[in-house]
A and B are shown apart, each in its own frame.
Chain A
């Protein structure tokens, strides 16, 4: 998998947008960026993925820079239930997903 770099932790106030960055400077042209999150004591949950265009679904938005070397996951109105570890993953070819350490997002009242 292409190497990804994420901050170990971030804080966000409830109701505000949470912007989670990820660097993936070695990404290849046909590799997608995937985001998952893991709430404490639960299994990871798929959030969103993208190749080069920005993507949005009911959970979040994914902004990928034009050079594709970094991306930002945006939770537009964070709630306390969004407190979780967020993983940015760039799998290579037919490889399986490798989960790194991710970013621990703490949403506070």
Chain B
């Protein structure tokens, strides 16, 4: 069966520090991968999605970036965090044929101080 792992689960970072969140999927190949963010009291915002290695689509301009170095690995990064980057970050995957049936990870809660 397929599983999705996301880490770290929680982190507290100072403004201006770098960020790296990692997501891996097991039990499937060539998944579509997604990063969403949910700010406190807000809805889910799609940040990035990827349909293959090295292929990244950005939905909103920000100081975040994403990379997909391997087929089942998706990384969210920032060189310098802002206060507004605080939120609940969710990784998700889907198959190419079932692109709208997403399976989400447990999330990473980021607090920028």
**Whole-angstrom distance between the alpha carbons of A41 and B107 in the complex?**
8
* In-complex Cβ contact of B107 among A43, A45, A91, A94 (8 A): A43
Q: Which of A41, A46, A49, A91 has the most CB of B within 10 A?
A: A46
**Whole-angstrom distance between the alpha carbons of A34 and B88 in the complex?**
23
Asked if A44 is at the interface of the complex by the 8 Å CB criterion, the answer is: yes
Contact B43 A91 (CB under 8 A): no
Asked if B15 is at the interface of the complex by the 8 Å CB criterion, the answer is: no
Asked if B92 is at the interface of the complex by the 8 Å CB criterion, the answer is: yes
* In-complex Cβ contact of B106 among A38, A42, A98, A99 (8 A): A42
* In-complex Cβ contact of A43 among B46, B92, B101 (8 A): B92
Number of A-B residue pairs at CB separation under 8 A: 44
Contact B104 A96 (CB under 8 A): no
Chain A residue total in the interface (Cβ 8 A)? 21
Contact B106 A43 (CB under 8 A): yes
State how many angstroms separate the Cβ of B94 from the closest Cβ of chain A.
Answer: 9
Asked if A80 is at the interface of the complex by the 8 Å CB criterion, the answer is: no
Asked if A97 is at the interface of the complex by the 8 Å CB criterion, the answer is: yes
B59 — which chain A residues lie within 8 A by C-beta? 96
- Main secondary structure, interface of A, reads loop
State how many angstroms separate the Cβ of B110 from the closest Cβ of chain A.
Answer: 14
Contact A98 B92 (CB under 8 A): no
Contact B44 A44 (CB under 8 A): yes
Residues of chain B whose beta carbon lies under 8 Å from any beta carbon of chain A: 34, 36, 43-44, 46, 49, 59, 88, 90, 92, 99-107
Listed A/B pairs (24) with beta-carbon separation below 8 Å: A32-B100, A41-B88, A42-B106, A43-B92, A43-B105, A43-B107, A44-B44, A44-B90, A44-B92, A44-B102, A45-B104, A46-B103, A49-B101, A89-B100, A91-B100, A94-B99, A96-B46, A96-B49, A97-B46, A97-B100, A97-B102, A99-B43, A101-B43, A102-B43
User: What are the 5 A-B residue pairs with the smallest beta carbon separation, nearest first?
Assistant: A43-B104, A99-B44, A43-B90, A43-B107, A46-B101
Residues of chain A whose beta carbon lies under 8 Å from any beta carbon of chain B: 32, 34, 36, 38, 41-46, 49, 89, 91, 94, 96-102
Known: A42-B106, A42-B107, A44-B90. 13 other contacts (CB 8 A): A34-B101, A36-B102, A43-B104, A43-B105, A44-B104, A45-B104, A46-B103, A49-B101, A91-B100, A96-B49, A97-B100, A97-B102, A99-B43
